Amino acid sequence: MTTRGIRRKKSSLSEVKVAVIGAPSVGKSALTVRFLTKRYIGEYDHQQESKYKHETLLDGEPILFEILDTCPKRNKIFSPMYPWHWWAISQIWCIYDK
């Protein structure tokens, strides 16, 4: 099977689930989109939570990243009722406050 140019067997793919959290307007979406596309995009929907899947190679092995770009106003990832189980959490913050 080929996905975005990476040949792999379905059973050999490692998965990593990451939640990106932080206060409003600190760059969570910018950092997430930069990781996914290697580009900077200046406009984002700041009122909506977004989920992404991204396959890449790490040390020559294919890895599937499932990324949740959270919306601080609706942040519920720590709720026991939330359906995802996270393996990593990336907290983004601003080093200055206007």
Q: CATH number of the domain that 45 lies in? A: 3.40.50.300
For residues 22 and 91, the answer to whether their CB atoms sit within 8 Å is: yes
Instruction: Report if residue 98 sits inside a domain.
Output: no
Q: Is the model more confident about 13 or about 7? A: 13
Instruction: Report if residue 67 sits inside a domain.
Output: yes
Mean pLDDT of 46-50: 80
Nearest to 31 by CA among 70, 83, 75: 70
Instruction: Report if residue 7 sits inside a domain.
Output: yes
Instruction: Report if residue 97 sits inside a domain.
Output: no
CA distance 56 to 58: 7
Range of the domain at 23: 2-92
Instruction: Report if residue 20 sits inside a domain.
Output: yes
Instruction: Report if residue 59 sits inside a domain.
Output: yes
Whether the full predicted model's pTM is greater than 0.85, yes or no, is no
What is the pLDDT confidence band of residue 48, given thresholds at 50, 70 and 90?
confident
Q: How many domains does the chain have?
A: 1
Mean pLDDT of 37-51: 82
Instruction: Report if residue 56 sits inside a domain.
Output: yes
For residues 68 and 36, the answer to whether their CB atoms sit within 8 Å is: no
